[in-house]
């Protein structure tokens, strides 16, 4: 049922957008300037995609067939279809309010409340569809119904979250990623991803300059400089003992830094303790997984959220369980009873519970059978597609560089090469040293 998956993805993406709009409305009430271009791009997206593609397909295929097969759903479908029909007028009204606010004729607080009521409508609409329509569709529609519905939906050119996002929406995508109040990595299962592009310097999330770290008199890191931009996946590859783990540990603050500077989201965090860094969103899944064997899976996950407000823990845990159903099934069992691959999922899930803005993964594929390695990389790809910023350390250089936007090669404590993932894969030196080619 491709159509159902696509509809749910569209809903997740729209929900994310609505959440970002709400957040910006709140910022605006708190005195932030009007994010005019952002709102305008959101309206263009809704206009171009949601109203011209998503809604008509629902009306003409899904809803039409469902009306025939499930007479008791007709009232709900009428209500939803009416909201579809009213959408363009609502959006036009909002565009007029945005324009007035832009020229100072409408107070920003009024625009904020108009935006909020629009997103509230949007969210209510999505919930109604998800709760009352899709489950019925799943039950009553016949095979031949799905064939035509799927065909309509498979031609799905989402300009923002689609396979090939349109250029004018790329900035919007990155802005959504950086303004979404909840870490998008905990969101729904969006498969959308963007082609890599050169990003403005202002979008640098992490900047490390000249990092040094020692074990006694041995200098394990000899002045490492690297950058990670918002939404990027950066791979750090290198042989045994190159200093990859030391780098991640120094970055998260559990290993002392003897020289250098770390800037995160514009702030110098070089002097911050590890828990403070975690609170800011630097969350690590450590080498060797290090789950707490005697503790239950739930308790392990809860530990990952110790810097987070308590009220959000249960909800976040459900999101992790949605990503990793096996953990839900075994939630009450000691973590030590899980297989290696499952423990790796738990370690990643635990890091996600800290609502990372930068997720550090230290050799997530280590010691796993090939099929499980693929599965772990699949999870990383999903997180990446959802907009998570990831710094991935791997000995499995080919797999890591393959999914990375950019990479750094580390040799005995120094960066010796950097480039896009593909450039490094094609580099003679890298091929000889790490790819066995």
Ligand X SMILES: Nc1ncnc2c1ncn2[C@@H]1O[C@H](COP(=O)(O)OP(=O)(O)OP(=O)(O)O)[C@@H](O)[C@H]1O
- Kindly identify the residues of this chain, within the stretch 320-359, that bind ligand X according to CB under 6 A: none
Q: How many whole angstroms from its chain centre is CA 300? A: 22
Residue 376 near residue 403 (C-beta atoms within 8 A): no
Distance CA 216, CA 418 (A): 29
Whichever of 89 and 218 has its CB closer to ligand X, that residue is 218
Distance of closest approach, residue 236 Cβ to Mg ion, in angstroms: 10
Residue 406 near residue 418 (C-beta atoms within 8 A): yes
Distance CA 21, CA 385 (A): 20
3-state helix, strand, coil split of the chain in percent (to 5) is 60, 15, 25
Of 19, 76, 246, 343, the residue at the interface with ligand X (CB under 6 A) is 246
Q: Pattern 261-290, binding to Mg ion, x per CB under 5 A? A: --------------------------x---
Whichever of 195 and 256 has its CB closer to ligand X, that residue is 256
Q: Which stretch binds ligand X (CB under 6 A): 37-45, 106-114, 148-156, 234-242?
A: 234-242
Q: Pattern 294-323, binding to ligand X, x per CB under 6 A? A: ------------------------------
Distance CA 47, CA 51 (A): 5
Of 185, 187, 192, 243, the residue at the interface with ligand X (CB under 6 A) is 243
Q: Which stretch binds ligand X (CB under 6 A): 44-52, 102-110, 190-198, 243-251?
A: 243-251
> Is 238 a binder of ligand X (CB under 6 A)?
yes
Residue 319, C-beta contacts closer than 8 angstroms, at least 6 positions apart? 186, 187
Residue with tokens 């509809």: 7
Q: Which stretch binds Mg ion (CB under 5 A): 60-68, 86-94, 195-203, 241-249?
A: 241-249
Distance CA 379, CA 362 (A): 14
> Is 245 a binder of Mg ion (CB under 5 A)?
yes
Whichever of 87 and 238 has its CB closer to ligand X, that residue is 238
Of 11, 125, 193, 244, the residue at the interface with ligand X (CB under 6 A) is 244
Whichever of 76 and 245 has its CB closer to Mg ion, that residue is 245
Q: Does residue 207 sit in helix, strand or coil?
A: strand
Which residues are 236's β-sheet partners?
393, 408
Burial of 200 by CB count in 10 Å (0-12 exposed, 13-18 middle, 19+ buried)?
A: exposed
Distance of closest approach, residue 413 Cβ to Mg ion, in angstroms: 13
Residues in the chain: 437
Of 31, 105, 240, 332, the residue at the interface with ligand X (CB under 6 A) is 240
Residue nearest to Mg ion (CB): 245
Distance of closest approach, residue 232 Cβ to Mg ion, in angstroms: 21
> Is 213 a binder of Mg ion (CB under 5 A)?
no
Q: Strand 259-264 and strand 204-215: pairing?
A: antiparallel
Q: How many whole angstroms from its chain centre is CA 84? A: 28
Of 4, 115, 206, 220, the residue at the interface with ligand X (CB under 6 A) is 220
Planar angle of CA 376, 382, 385, nearest 5 degrees: 145
Binding residues for Mg ion (CB under 5 A) = 244-245, 287
Binding residues for ligand X (CB under 6 A) = 215, 218, 220, 238, 240-246, 287, 395
């Amino acid at each position: 049922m491709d159509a159902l998956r696509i509809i749910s993805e569209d809903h997740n993406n729209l929900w994310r957008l609505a959440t970002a709009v709400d957040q910006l409305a709140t910022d605006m009430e708190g005195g932030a300037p009007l994010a005019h271009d952002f709102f305008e791009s959101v309206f263009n997206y809704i206009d171009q995609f949601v109203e011209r593609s998503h809604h008509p397909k629902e009306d003409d295929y899904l809803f039409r067939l469902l009306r025939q097969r499930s007479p008791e759903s007709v009232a709900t479908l009428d209500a939803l279809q009416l909201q579809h029909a009213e959408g363009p007028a609502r959006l036009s009204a909002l565009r007029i309010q945005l324009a007035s606010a832009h020229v100072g004729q409408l107070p920003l607080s009024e625009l904020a409340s108009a935006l909020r009521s629009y997103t509230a409508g949007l969210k209510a609409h999505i919930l109604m569809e998800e709760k009352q329509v899709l489950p019925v569709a799943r039950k009553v529609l016949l095979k031949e119904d799905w064939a035509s519905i799927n065909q309509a939906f498979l031609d799905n050119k989402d300009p923002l979250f689609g396979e090939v996002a349109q250029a004018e929406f790329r900035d919007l995508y990155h802005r959504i990623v950086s303004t979404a109040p909840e870490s998008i990595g905990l969101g729904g299962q969006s498969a959308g991803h963007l082609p890599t592009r050169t990003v403005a310097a202002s979008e640098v999330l992490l900047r490390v300059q000249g990092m040094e770290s020692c074990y006694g008199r041995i200098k394990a890191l000899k002045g490492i400089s690297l950058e990670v931009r918002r939404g990027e996946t950066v791979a750090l590859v290198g042989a045994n003992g190159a200093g990859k783990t030391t780098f991640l540990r120094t970055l998260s603050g559990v290993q002392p830094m003897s020289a250098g500077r770390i800037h995160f989201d514009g702030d110098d965090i070089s002097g911050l303790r590890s828990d403070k860094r975690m609170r800011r969103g630097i969350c690590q899944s450590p080498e060797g997984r290090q789950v707490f064997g005697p503790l239950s899976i739930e308790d392990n996950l809860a530990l990952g959220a110790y810097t987070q407000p308590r009220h959000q823990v249960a909800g976040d845990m459900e999101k992790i369980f949605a990503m990793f159903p096996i953990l839900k099934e075994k939630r009450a069992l000691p973590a030590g009873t899980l297989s290696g691959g499952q423990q790796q999922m738990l370690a990643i899930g635990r890091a996600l519970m800290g609502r990372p803005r930068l997720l550090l993964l230290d050799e997530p594929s280590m010691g796993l059978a090939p099929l499980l390695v693929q599965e772990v990389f699949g999870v990383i790809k999903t997180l990446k597609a959802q907009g998570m910023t990831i710094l991935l350390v791997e000995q499995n250089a080919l797999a890591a560089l393959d999914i990375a936007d950019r990479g750094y090669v580390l040799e005995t404590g120094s960066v010796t090469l950097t480039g896009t993932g593909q450039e490094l894969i094609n580099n003679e030196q890298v091929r000889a040293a790490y790819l066995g080619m």
